[in-house]
Amino acid sequence: MKIAFKPYTQKDDLYPFTLTRNVLDIRLGILTLREKWELLKSHGVEIVDNNELTISLNTIPSLQYLKKLETNINAEKKLEHPWQIFQNNDAAIREDFELITKGKVSKKVSVTNKIIGENIFAEAGAKLEHCIINTTTGPVYIGKNAEIMEGTIIRGPVAICEGSIIKMGAKIYGATTIGPYCLAGGEIKNTVMFGYSNKAHDGYLGDSVIGEWCNLGAGTTTSNVKNTAGEVKVWEEPKKAYTNVGLKCGLLMGDYSRAAINTSFNTGTVTGVGCNIFLLGFPPNFVQSFMWGDVNYDLDKALENIDNWKK
């Protein structure tokens, strides 16, 4: 099958995650959109410069989708808003799991673990002992050299990507992706952590998207449902307006942002890039990029601190 990409001009609609990356480098499921297309090439998909079958860069690729697309161009499924990342993560993990594991054999999982169901795949170097993993609700993927410490409870669909560490006693519900080289603990549900980020301690993170190189201090917790059980409204910075996103949305945090210990985020909070969040009470529902508490972050200092975190 031959496809071509057309320009994507609405990248600001995926704020704050496209402030620092191409839309193709957004993680959804186990893989980024770019990684999905690269894998699909080995399944007979050819990407060309000019072809009658032209799709948008923000298309969510999968084998199932491409079969529909061959007969119906309107079947194109797009990623158009940041909250759609966690909203589509369940289906994306399942599709990526099938794509990644087809024809491969999982590393044998230690008998000290309690595995419910058979839909688990562990890459070489994965380490896990004395964990409870339920795969009857969805597949569980454990990436290369990932470590799941003892006492962890996982209920699929869940992806623990390469090099990540899950702390002792963590509780991870589907549909959650812990991206490459993350540190995760406490209670996490229906969340995507892109990579190189930490939520290492107790506290709840639900229906959220966390960019790269972020850190959530101990006790940080997100609200993902309003006390009124009403529609959650999320600030869209490019449009300078609030948008109803459904009944659940936690935290949408841009790259290089950090929250102090015991930070409590309101339902549907958005933070920009490079924020250092420490305030009495709840932070605002929208935090602009490069804020130090409630003042502007000196850019040179912000870059220095980012470099410290990367080290």
pLDDT attached to residue 74: 61
Work out the widest C-alpha separation in the chain, in whole angstroms: 56
* Residue 37: predicted pLDDT: 87
pLDDT for the residue numbered 265:
97
Nearest residue to 289 via CA among 266, 262, 258, 267: 258
* Segments of the chain with pLDDT less than 70: 1, 43-47, 49-53, 66-75
Structural domains of the chain, ranges and CATH numbers in brackets:
2-101 (no CATH), 114-310 (2.160.10.10)
- Prediction pTM value: 0.93
Mean pLDDT of the chain: 92
211, 257 contact by CB (below 8 A): yes
